[in-house]
């Protein structure tokens, strides 16, 4: 019997190793202690590899791994994995996303309690300095404090349940869930982010996406209560570290509990100089229980993949270059961009997606639907959504996906469109590919346009009256926002839609000022 080769490239809990070692149809090779340059000499034997953060899955690794069919990242993060490179080679990439959930939840509660009672400092005062001074260490109770939770997924929701057990008043902000997910747990749900900023304690539990990086910055901290407590055990950079430092230094933020940093290891970070911070070196997954679960789940996924049974938590679609015609690949890429654009322009829990392919591209309607789902859900889930799990996640969230293939009509040989519906409304976007694979958005909400789907875009709908373009230009110029392109669509109902592509980031202040124009119907800001 020919055995499947599973190679373990980094150290995992021995429970996972024992699982692999005990399988009669598996040749288990442990190279965790092998220098990484020597790893490239042996990885060609592997059908499946298990890695952690120490092994870079880059072009050199993939070129050496000539027999590799699947890769399991024993943990959540895949920053060290070239997922696109794996996809092109037909290598399925999986991670282990939920094994450390409880560990991260409990660490969050530990930081919360540590901040409220100054526990690390009181501990050091007695144990290291040998000073018994009870009056120095008055703290605050969690009971009756208002906790704001940003992101109410697997971790945020469990933090909410535990906070309720402490008799806290809990409110959450997460525009990508149904409100009932929170209210069924006795947690208040809000669509107004300022409600979170008014809380006594704020904790964040979101993926790291372009929307969430720097989500708490100078402007948000200014709106907070004096003496607010901030917790981040999710991802480095969700809080603007410079703004966090300033807020802690001037006392606006009374205490912060931080487990993650933008750059790690963070042994010389300015936050370490402050005496109102509890810090840990990215310990969110560091419990014996979670390491056991990570190792055993990673081992089971590797076994299933080696045997071709299943690929749980797969993060990519193994696309081989010779299986899809070039013209169709371009449309799939465009459809994903359209989904991402639509989700940013119509934020909220997605109710339905309607995908249409007109012309020959309609033959690939199933793939178009998958790519549309990935793009639309990426806004909420970041790396948590992928081509393999998109249909499952959409079904789990109750999203109705409709697919329609139609003959070519109108001016375009092939045209794709997406209708995305949330509780906030509907957005429809259509696109096509011109010669030389030039991608174009050709319709937004029935306005005919010609827009390259790339960069920072302001979508500005207005009543079609004189002076609007000049007013918009003046506002952007005042805020030093340079216009790279300005595309305008008009209808026969007295309305116009401008897609303004700009070179600079656009602040909320700019968007609010644009929205305040008398002619404004709505203003949206999207980034592709």
Q: What is the pLDDT of residues 220-263, one digit of tens each?
A: 999 999 999 999 999 999 999 999 999 999 999 999 999 999 99
- Full DSSP string of 183-203: HTTT-EEES-HHHHHTSSEEE
- Same topology, domains 4-99+289-306 and 324-451? Answer is no
What percentage of the chain reaches a pLDDT higher than 90? Answer: 82
What is the DSSP secondary structure assignment for residue 486, as one 8-state letter?
E
b/e code 218-255 from CB counts within 10 Å (16+ = b) = eebbeebbeebbbbbbbbbbbbbbebbbebbeeebbbb
pLDDT level of residue 348 (50, 70, 90 thresholds):
very high
Report H helices in 307-325.
Answer: none
Which two structure tokens, joined as six digits, stand for 433? 């590919």
Which two structure tokens, joined as six digits, stand for 526? 């999207």
Return the pLDDT at 383: 67
Q: Which residue has the tokens 């169709």?
A: 328
Q: Give the residue-averaged pLDDT of 331-339.
A: 94
pLDDT digits (tens, 9 = 90+) for 359-395: 999 999 998 999 999 899 988 888 678 777 788 788 8
b/e code 336-365 from CB counts within 10 Å (16+ = b) = bbbbbbbbbbbbbbbbebbbbbbbbbbebb
Return the pLDDT at 90: 78
SS3 letters for 41-83? HHHHHCCEEEECCCCCECHHHHHHCCCCCEEEECCCCCCCECH
CA–CA dist 481, 115 (Å, integer): 40
Give the pairing type, strands 253-258 and 277-279. Answer: parallel
State whether the Cα torsion 473-475-481-486 is positive or negative: negative
Annotated active-site positions, please?
Answer: 235, 264, 282
User: Would you mind telling me the total number of residues written for the chain in this entry?
Assistant: 528
For 426, the enclosing helix (H) or strand (E) is strand 425-434
* CATH 3.30.390.30 fits domain 4-99+289-306: no
Q: Which residue has the tokens 């789907």?
A: 453
pLDDT of 321 higher than 80: no
pLDDT digits (tens, 9 = 90+) for 60-91: 999 999 999 999 999 887 878 998 888 878 79
- Gyration radius (Cα) of the chain, Å: 26
pLDDT digits (tens, 9 = 90+) for 469-481: 999 999 999 999 9
**Residues contacting residue 415 through CB under 8 Å, at least 6 positions apart:** 357, 358, 359, 361, 408, 430, 431, 432, 442
CATH topology of domain 101-279: Rossmann fold (3.40.50)
pLDDT digits (tens, 9 = 90+) for 160-213: 999 999 999 999 999 989 899 999 999 999 999 999 999 999 999 998 888 899
Report H helices in 270-397.
Answer: 288-306, 326-345, 365-381, 390-396
Single out the residue of 316, 349, 265, 295 nearest to residue 11, CA to CA. Answer: 295
CATH topology of domain 324-451: 60s Ribosomal Protein L30; Chain: A; (3.30.1330)
User: Which CATH number is associated with domain 455-528?
Assistant: 3.30.70.260
Angle at CA of residue 204, ends 201 and 206, nearest 5°? 165
How many CB atoms sit inside 10 A of residue 385's CB?
A: 21
SS3 430: strand
Return the pLDDT at 39: 94
Return the pLDDT at 319: 57
CA–CA dist 458, 523 (Å, integer): 7
**Residues contacting residue 327 through CB under 8 Å, at least 6 positions apart:** 360, 361, 414, 433, 437
Domain boundaries, the chain: 4-99+289-306, 101-279, 324-451, 455-528
Return the pLDDT at 320: 53
Return the pLDDT at 515: 96
Return the pLDDT at 322: 55
């Amino acid at each position: 019997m020919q055995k499947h080769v599973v190679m373990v490239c980094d150290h995992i809990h021995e429970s996972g190793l024992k699982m692999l070692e005990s399988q009669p149809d598996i040749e288990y090779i442990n190279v965790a202690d092998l220098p990484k340059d020597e790893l490239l000499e042996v990885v060609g034997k592997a059908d499946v590899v298990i890695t952690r953060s120490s092994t870079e899955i880059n072009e050199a690794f993939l070129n050496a791994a000539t027999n590799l069919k699947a890769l399991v990242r024993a943990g959540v993060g895949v920053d060290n994995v070239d997922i696109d490179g794996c996809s092109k080679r037909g290598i399925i990439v999986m991670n282990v996303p939920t094994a450390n959930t409880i560990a991260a939840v409990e660490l969050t509660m530990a930081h919360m309690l540590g901040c409220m009672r100054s526990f690390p400092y009181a501990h050091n005062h007695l144990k290291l300095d040998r000073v018994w001074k009870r009056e120095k260490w008055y703290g605050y109770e969690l009971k009756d404090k208002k906790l704001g939770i940003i992101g109410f997924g697997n971790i945020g929701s469990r933090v909410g349940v535990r906070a309720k057990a402490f008799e806290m008043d809990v409110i959450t902000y997460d525009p990508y869930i149904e409100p009932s997910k929170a209210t069924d747990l006795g947690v208040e749900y809000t669509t107004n982010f300022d409600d979170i900023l008014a809380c006594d304690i704020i904790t964040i539990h979101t993926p790291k996406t372009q929307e969430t990086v720097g989500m708490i910055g100078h402007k948000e901290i200014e709106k907070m209560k004096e003496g607010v407590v901030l917790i981040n055990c999710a991802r480095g950079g969700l809080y603007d570290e410079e703004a966090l430092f300033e807020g802690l230094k001037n006392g606006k933020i009374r205490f912060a509990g931080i487990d993650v940093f933008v750059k790690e290891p963070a042994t010389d970070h300015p936050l370490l100089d402050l005496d109102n911070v509890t810090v840990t070196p990215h310990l969110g997954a560091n419990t014996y229980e979670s390491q056991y679960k990570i190792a055993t789940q990673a081992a089971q996924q590797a076994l299933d993949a080696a045997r071709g049974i299943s690929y749980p938590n797969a993060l990519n679609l193994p696309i081989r270059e010779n299986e899809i015609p070039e013209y169709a690949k371009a449309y799939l890429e465009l459809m994903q961009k359209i989904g991402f654009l639509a989700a940013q322009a119509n934020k909220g829990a997605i109710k339905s997606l309607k995908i249409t392919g007109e012309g020959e591209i309609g033959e690939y309607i199933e793939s178009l639907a998958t790519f549309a789902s990935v793009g639309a859900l990426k806004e909420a889930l970041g790396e948590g959504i992928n081509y393999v799990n998109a249909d499952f996640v959409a079904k789990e969230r109750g999203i109705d996906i409709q697919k329609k293939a139609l003959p070519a009509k109108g001016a375009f040989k092939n045209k794709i469109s997406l209708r995305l519906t949330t509780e906030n409304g509907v957005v429809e976007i259509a696109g096509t590919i011109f010669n030389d694979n030039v991608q174009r958005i050709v319709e937004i909400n029935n306005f005919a346009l010609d827009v390259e789907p790339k960069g920072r875009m302001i979508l500005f709908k207005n009543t079609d009256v004189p002076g609007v373009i000049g007013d918009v230009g003046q506002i952007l110029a005042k805020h030093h926002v340079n216009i790279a392109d300005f595309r305008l669509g008009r209808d026969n109902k007295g309305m116009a839609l401008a897609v303004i592509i700009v070179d600079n980031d656009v602040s909320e202040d700019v968007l609010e000022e644009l929205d305040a124009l008398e002619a404004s119907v709505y203003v949206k800001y999207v980034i592709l």
